[in-house]
Structure 1
């Protein structure tokens, strides 16, 4: 009688014995799936796709909904403070509500402009952003400079605090050369100079005026013409952008360095500005070092 083995149903899964731990029949479906999974996990492309999905999901989870504008209490307070700074008055409840509504409207338009890319290739926005970045670079708090530091800066930039050659004089105005020459003759004969001259918007007396100031007042070249005159007597006519002048030089003040005490406040301001400019330049230099600049040949 032939031997017929009894039918035996294998369990779907059982813990392998120690002797079987090194051998798993390929006929088990779950083992095939595990082998497939192991094979997939060894593929770089699978990991790349998985990481991309995770990053996309994280961005979607943590990003703020751009269609939502949440105006915090602190933001409303800042809006009210800005109003008070500009007007000197505390905003009423109605005014604050209107201010917040205007801010929200502006924020909506701002976001829409960004969405449409209106900030791209705009030279005005470009310059404004660069300007704001410059303010950030200059904003590092600095302690007040010591007097010795200011004195050293003063000596290093002495030309900026040197007063130029200056003139003090009286003048009589005339429209024509002939009238000016007749008046000069009258003065030489003893006439009172204060009774001569034509009416004008110019001052009769000028004191401690630099050549730059005089040229701005009387026209280019006027200071050079004064340089050839002798102090203490009426001379001329001296031409200006207005007409002709008789001039009495009362003093010529040579160039001189201003005393440090008289310009210390200005020196402190100049020093602070110099420090800010240096900080901005260092900031730009550090940024430039992070870029590779390539100019295409034309």
Structure 2
């Protein structure tokens, strides 16, 4: 009875009624969400021009939807960063605003602190693309800090390895030395090859009869792609078509530069990679994918707090 008597107080009823009204106000009259978008015709046209300059074909409706969504997400992240006043604590933004003020030749006689404050008062940070990119980057780092991606498990590493086995195959590798004949000396090729074969010359000795070749004369454990950077793709194809074997001369083999008599010292066949060989690459890829997934999840959650106008 004493408890009921204590509860029967007008002031207590007043407090409880006030709390209830405050709660109901939040339920039936919530604070409006911050608005993001729409992009506007000028920005949409700029996005289309950027797409066309890189892809050269118009985006499909699905691609355009993703482009617009990504741009609205950037606006949302920037708006949130500004609301959190992250720009006030970033040295990149600080230096950028000082640079802009000096470029505009404004604030003569002001020190850096006054220049910076004037730039903020003029709201220069809101219209600068460099500041926007920086704030988006900082906001993404903040989201990843609050929703960090999971560390890849060993089971995930093995599953990724098995799934990408074909992609991760180790390419063949060749160790070669060569005697080069530029186009002016192609008539000497037959005689020089006969001399090398007849005298069983070592590659170092045969090199004395080579034309100068800037990339060099000895190449160790090179993949076909690496050899192509030095000799061109036609040389690699011609060399492989000749059926090279370790410990033998091959050629003459034509490249974009001329002819080559090639000594093959070692050959490693294409093979499957081992997990340990590609562990670092797989870990990097899984971590990158995990960050993308965590960031996407955080952005999707953030959208619930905004009104997105397309």
1:162 touches 1:256 (CA, 8 Å); kept in 2? yes
Give the unaligned 5+ runs of structure 1.
1-74, 80-103
Instruction: Say if 1:262 and 1:189 are closer, same or farther in 2 by CA, change over 3 A.
Output: same
What is residue 124 of structure 1 aligned with on the other side?
130
Distance 1:187 1:255 in 2: 30
What is residue 236 of structure 1 aligned with on the other side?
251
What is residue 204 of structure 1 aligned with on the other side?
217
Say which structure is richer in helix: 2
Distance 2:111 2:169 in 1: 54
Distance 1:218 1:247 in 2: 12
Distance 2:256 2:295 in 1: 43
2:251 touches 2:260 (CA, 8 Å); kept in 1? yes
Pair 1:155-2:151 in alignment: no
Pair 1:195-2:202 in alignment: no
What is residue 119 of structure 2 aligned with on the other side?
113
Cα drift, residue 230 of structure 1: 2.1
Pair 1:137-2:143 in alignment: yes
Pair 1:265-2:270 in alignment: no
1:138 touches 1:277 (CA, 8 Å); kept in 2? no
Rg larger in structure: 1
User: Aligned to 2:179, what secondary structure does the other structure show?
Assistant: strand
Pair 1:282-2:297 in alignment: yes
For 1:102-138, what per-residue CA distance to the aligned partner results, in whole angstroms no more than 9, with x for missing partners? xx95444333222223223322222222222332333
For 1:200-249, what per-residue CA distance to the aligned partner results, in whole angstroms no more than 9, with x for missing partners? 44343323322221222323433222221222332333344554321133
Give the unaligned 5+ runs of structure 2.
1-88, 92-109
Superposition TM-score, scaled by structure 1 size: 0.53
User: Aligned to 2:308, what secondary structure does the other structure show?
Assistant: coil
What is residue 184 of structure 1 aligned with on the other side?
193
Instruction: State how many pairs are aligned.
Output: 193
Could you say which structure has the greater relative contact order, defined with CA pairs below 8 angstroms and 6 or more residues apart? 2
Distance 1:109 1:154 in 2: 55
Find 2:264's aligned residue among 249, 259, 270. 249
Give the CA RMSD over aligned residues: 3.2
Superposition TM-score, scaled by structure 2 size: 0.52
1:168 touches 1:209 (CA, 8 Å); kept in 2? yes
For 1:149-205, what per-residue CA distance to the aligned partner results, in whole angstroms no more than 9, with x for missing partners? 321222233345321233332222232323444322322333514322234443433
User: Aligned to 1:161, what secondary structure does the other structure show?
Assistant: coil
1:162 touches 1:258 (CA, 8 Å); kept in 2? yes
Distance 2:307 2:195 in 1: 76
Instruction: Say if 1:123 and 1:221 are closer, same or farther in 2 by CA, change over 3 A.
Output: farther
